[in-house]
Amino acid sequence: MFDDRKQVEARLDRVLQQRIRPAVYGPVVPLTVTAWHVPDEPVPVAEALGASYSAFAVGERWGRPWSTTWFRVVGEVPAEWAGRRVEAVFDLGFIGDWPGGQAEALVYSASGEPVKGIEPRNQYVPVADVGRVELFLEAAGNPDILANGFIPTLLGDKLTAPADPLYVFGRADLAVLNEDVWHLVLDIEVASELMRELSEHDTRRHELLRALERMLDVLDIADVVGTAAVARASLVDVLSRPAHASAHTLSSVGHAHIDSAWLWPLRETVRKTGRTFSNVTALAKDYPEFVFACSQAQQYAWAKEHHPAVYARMQEAAKAGNWVPVGGMWVEADGNLPGGEALARQLVHGKRFFLDEFDVECEGVWLPDSFGYTAAYPQLAKLAGMKWFLTQKISWNQTNKMPHHTFRWEGIDGSRIFTHFPPVDTYNAVFSGEELAHAARNYADKGGGTRSLVPFGHGDGGGGPTREMMEKARRLRDLEGSPRVVVQDPNVFFREAEAEYSDAPVWSGELYLELHRATYTSQARTKSGNRRSEHLLREAELWAATAAVRVGFAYPYEELDRLWKTVLLHQFHDILPGSSIAWVHREAEATYARVAAELNGIVEAAGAALAGVGEVPWVLNAGPRRRVEVVAVPGEMGVEGQPLVDGTVAVLVKVEGSGAGPLVSCAAGADVVVGERVLENGLVRVVIDEDGLFSSVYDLVEEREVLAPGERGNLLRLHTDFPNQWDAWDIDKHYRHQFVDLTDVESIEVVERGPLVGAVRVTRRFGESSVVQTVRVRAGSARIDVETEIDWHEREKILKVGFPLDVHADRSAAEIQFGHVFRPTHTNTSWEAARFEMFCHRWVHVGEPGYGVAVLNDSTYGHDVGREARADGGTTTTLRLSLVRAPRCPDPEADQGVHRMTYSLLPGASIADAVEGGYAVNLPLRVVAGSGGAGGAGGALVEVEGRKVVVESVKLADDRSGDVVVRLYESVGGGLRGRCCGLGSGWGGLRWWICWSGRLGRNWGLKRTGVRCGWG
């Protein structure tokens, strides 16, 4: 028998596209359009309502890149349309169908109330079926940055974008929605998409095909509107058959992933929230079963400020159960790079906002799109009261597929949290047959679990769920051959999934994304701004709290709250990773500069209050450990010491951890001796060769050479860095195949000659770039600092610096939030080989029994560690830091210009030494002058006993109760006894949230039964 299946399918496709879809709307009446082109940045709706509008015709061009045009549309609904479903339909000139990445608009009523968003897949606005229509469209002329693929473009900043309009206005009509035709389209989509996913041997596939053929036979293509109802009736039977008892259940939740910045600036995201949230709240009124999950408290705060009417609708929808705040974080932050305290504050500020504004205690972390996830997350999530964790991004792995979709994730302290990866492999599902079939087939935990989650709705640039998606969900609720689709609160899904899969497998350690590894390095100034902001916030809170308790200093609650939220916002997973357009990073650098200025002002004011009256300067140590260290004192303070070339004076001082006190000079155990290219201080000797490289680093205490035989340290290596795609995001392993070692030197000069500080400056030029490095050794410390200034003008390159170490290390330790992780230095398995670029925070450590070496840094994150063969048959452990890159997409000028950073080599270091060294490099001692007030209150507000316990933050409680909040953690990963308390007496009504004494057990972070951990 002749098989005509392909012919039926071809007939179906043509009739659907050329006859049925065009009949969804009709009849049509054009709207009259006028326009006001906003001269510069967006304006409030009140200003737009009062603006002067000019004639504008459909077919005209509009929308220079990043501009705003307000369109006023006016029309009259014909009287004969009464009782029918009338809508205003717009085409802004959409190019393709990617929502959120091109032109979009928010539609307002004539009174200025936001109605609904407009984007390529959501072009309608409901209107009354009689009378006059007047609407205002705030249209954004946003360019599609990736329209031509991963090639450089000037469109990513309004300062460089060309002025030519991008769009041709395509449509502004009043139209009748022919509901039978619209529903017929959806019936056909569900049936045909399901049919095409079923096997050729599945009877159900053929039943669907023949039902669709009968539908085509009863449909009159010359009268689609008149015959749509009878065509639909022919599909009722085939679309009514229930799913099999064993069908997989897809718990589906509405979602609109809105990147807080990415291919658009922050200011545009403010408007995206208004468009998307107005869409969602409108949809909730039409579909009572609808559930929408929304994270990122920052975006709620923007809606509250800029779109209060929409925000009120959001709160109403939440009360009705249609809207579910999730995630409990200020933004969907990068999963690797924020510091431990910053991740704690993401949770503090996020959970507090949702509790205050929606009376909701968020139950889970919602991070579908971050580029890997630190092994500290399970503990932090559990301590924040979270019960579950969701992500999607690990499905992007290049090499290894995760073995589970539902599991318990174990962190570095042993905490476990129930975790789920939706097997649909997207957080922007649209209920296509392909997606649903893939989710059911792909689910890795069959036999253990029976359900998975499907986040549905247009996203990245927002848009959210549509009515078409909700209609398809209704049809797919219980349909033979398909998984069951249940629209459901994600908290309910996680409770049911955990209950049915109580013995879910365990994944221990970090969730490393085998992709986007370059995000540890791209946009180095953004990363430096984040790191320095985190440490300045620590300083500001510590000294403001200390001064408030000791001398009555006015604690700057509002300022610190605002500054924290600013820093948290910029930890979003496309800002801090360096994967946004030029505009975003230009603004980020300026913002970090303002944050630094404000925080330095707070530190200086609090420090001056503590120092009080007197001519003797004070030293502030924001690090957690007592330090005997050389400090640079401004020359004008009149302190005696070694004059330095920058006009400061070097003095060796001693100061308590987290403490302050008068500057008192200490005697050095051994002076720094400086030769022509040799620095030595009794602890370490560094020899710099004629190429400006370390030819020897000798540990004088342990009497051993640190560098591998025949190797040189501090070697800068310039690699070609042209990934297969995703320029700012990716570094592909083939970068190692092409490189140049930077050994040419312009000058080597001694710039500090002791006795407290010795330094040699090395200057190099290569290509259009230069590097100036000051190698510095100080009295009393084995740490060798390399202060680096890079004037960078390379393209599609990455600059690394390497240290080949005479240490046989089968693993490295890298600092993460509140602890560290071990990673193999070998590549025995594909999992290990995939980790060819990794992240750390302030330090990386490699060691063998009895001896270790740490490399510290103050601003970079990317690095690699591996074992390399030597000519003598041995192996060298080589550690390389990634310093700066030069990708060209989405920012063609990424990283160009001057970068300043310090990295340090610390020979003979234990992990505890690395922890202390990392804090010291990132928290230099400060010297302040007195304020002339009463002051003079020295010492530390908080003291710990036991080297392993680290105080991470000291602050006053945000509730202004006068409580002092202390966050501390055990830093090396083992059991211990210790004590944490406040020192001194007579502090009036001071109360502590933590005053701890006892055994932490294996607590790498914050967990301690019976102790309040100071989340306030």
Q: Are strands 388-390 and 416-420 parallel, antiparallel or unpaired?
A: parallel
Question: Which residue among the candidates 369, 727, 732, 891 is catalytic per the annotation?
Answer: 369
What is the phi/psi pair of residue 922, to 5°?
Answer: -90, -15
Q: What is the CA radius of gyration of the chain?
A: 31
Residue 430's alpha-carbon distances to 272, 307, 427, 472, 560, in angstroms, are 20, 27, 10, 9, 42
Tokens found for residue 348: 């503090």
- Helix-then-strand count for the chain, H and E: 18, 55
Distance CA 439, CA 448 (A): 16
Is 369 known to be catalytic?
yes
- Residue among 664, 662, 663, 659 at smallest CA distance from 984: 659
Q: Are strands 797-805 and 875-885 parallel, antiparallel or unpaired?
A: antiparallel
Cβ count within 10 A of residue 989: 7
* Beta-bridge partner residues of 69: 37, 139
For residues 284 and 487, is the Cβ–Cβ distance under 8 A? no
For residue 1010, give the 3-state DSSP assignment: coil
DSSP string, 122-152: B-EEE--SSEEEEEEEEEEE---TTTTSS--
Tokens found for residue 723: 């990934």
Residue 388's alpha-carbon distances to 322, 363, 377, in angstroms, are 20, 7, 11
Tokens found for residue 283: 């949809």
Residue 557's alpha-carbon distances to 283, 357, 960, in angstroms, are 39, 20, 8
Buried b (16+ CB within 10 A) or exposed e, 62-74: bbbbbbbbbbbbe
Peptide bond preceding 27: is omega within 30 degrees of 0, i.e. cis? yes
For residues 990 and 962, is the Cβ–Cβ distance under 8 A? yes
Helices (H), 834-972: 911-922
Q: Where are the beta strands (DSSP E) in 412-531?
A: 416-420, 451-456, 484-487, 506-508
For residues 259 and 577, is the Cβ–Cβ distance under 8 A? no
Residues acting as catalytic residues: 369
